[in-house]
Amino acid sequence: MAMVVGGHDGVEPAALFGVRLRRLRSSLGLTQEQLALLTGINPSNLGKIERGTANPSLATMTRIAVALGVDLGTLLSGVPPLPEPDAAD
């Protein structure tokens, strides 16, 4: 059974990460295709990350942060932690 995790104001953590990523990428004047080339991430997958429909691995998030010239914490700051699973799960 899948666990639904609420995030900041009802926004899922992946969606919040994606919004931050898109805003930062756009502010730097980069297209998704350009960032994809810099990170080695498939442009389609990068789009999914920005839309919050994919959960990137730590390695992927790190590659994105390095390519954007920011600390990974900048992209993750304020993303709510996952709740502890119930003992019954």
23-58 pLDDT, tens digit per residue, is 999 999 999 999 999 999 999 999 999 999 999 999
Kindly indicate the confidence band of residue 12, based on its pLDDT and cuts at 50, 70 and 90. confident
Domains of the chain, start order? 12-74 (1.10.260.40)
Residue 47 has what pLDDT?
Answer: 97
Produce one character per residue of 53-87: b if its CB has 16 or more CB atoms within 10 Å, e if not: ebebeeebbebbbebbeeeeeebeeebeeeeeeee
| Tens digits of residue pLDDT in 60-80 | 999 999 999 999 998 888 776
Q: Which two tokens stand for residue 72?
A: 């990974």
